Amino acid sequence: MSKAEKTKKFIIEKTAFLFNTKGYTATSLSDITEATGLTKGSIYGNFENKDEVALEVYKYNAGLLGKSMSHSLGDEFPTTIEKLNAFINFYRKSWKAVFENGGCPLMNAATEADDTFPTLKKQVTKSFESWIKNITEVITQGQENGEIHQDINAEELGSLFIMIVEGGILLSKTTGDEKYLNLALDRILLIIDKELKNLPS
């Protein structure tokens, strides 16, 4: 890794928490220099402008969440039902860390980038699409191996799971009460148990 690449990585990692808690638009160049201890010249020597820093930080924050989520849906869990349960357990176990770091980076970026930061909005859209794709593929695999009902629309269900989780995170983060996230996760588990499982006749 070159010196420039190391500096970029340093800036991104040092400002990841800042952007996710203060906001991608509200975070100023002065905030960035204070967090990193670098000069404005050093920041602009590595990034074209503040928006480029914000975009790269978002990719970093979303990437960390994506890696953790992908692990829960990975080969460690042999069946589709186990993968989906692991996906739920990931949020059950990690909610505190997610909240302490400002909440879900996808939702945070989506709410403020809708009209004011189109480049960030485009990246957030890609993140959600990738998330939906990952869950859809797991459900589709379950249909192929006979675990999941064939008449289930995998993509619609993947989207629904994300909507339920994000809604639970939003209410819990806003109120400071984890019960809303747990309620959302319990509802998904009920859907998995009562609607998805292809029980033997």
Q: Which two tokens stand for residue 47?
A: 């990034």
The mean predicted confidence, pLDDT, of the chain is 89
Asked if residue 66 lies in contact with residue 75, where contact means CB atoms within 8 angstroms, the answer is no
State pLDDT tens for residues 5-58.
Answer: 999 999 999 999 999 999 888 899 999 999 999 999 999 999 999 999 999 999
Give the Cα separation of 139 and 166 in Å (integer): 19
Question: How far, CA to CA in Å, does 165 sit from each of 80, 89, 109, 146, 185?
Answer: 19, 12, 16, 26, 7
Confidence class of residue 129 from pLDDT cuts 50, 70 and 90?
very high
pTM attached to this predicted model: 0.86
Give the Cα separation of 185 and 83 in Å (integer): 14
- Is the pLDDT score of 93 beyond 60? yes
- Is the pLDDT score of 137 beyond 70? yes
Domain ranges of the chain: 57-196
CATH 3.40.630.30 holds for 57-196: no
State pLDDT tens for residues 42-55.
Answer: 999 999 999 999 99
pLDDT reported for residue 199: 57
State pLDDT tens for residues 149-178.
Answer: 889 999 999 999 999 999 998 899 889 899
Question: How far, CA to CA in Å, does 15 sit from each of 5, 7, 35, 40, 48?
Answer: 16, 12, 6, 14, 16
Three-state SS at 130: helix
Residues in the chain: 201
- Is the pLDDT score of 201 beyond 50? no
Confidence class of residue 200 from pLDDT cuts 50, 70 and 90?
low
Nearest to 121 by CA among 29, 55, 53, 169: 55
Give the Cα separation of 11 and 30 in Å (integer): 13
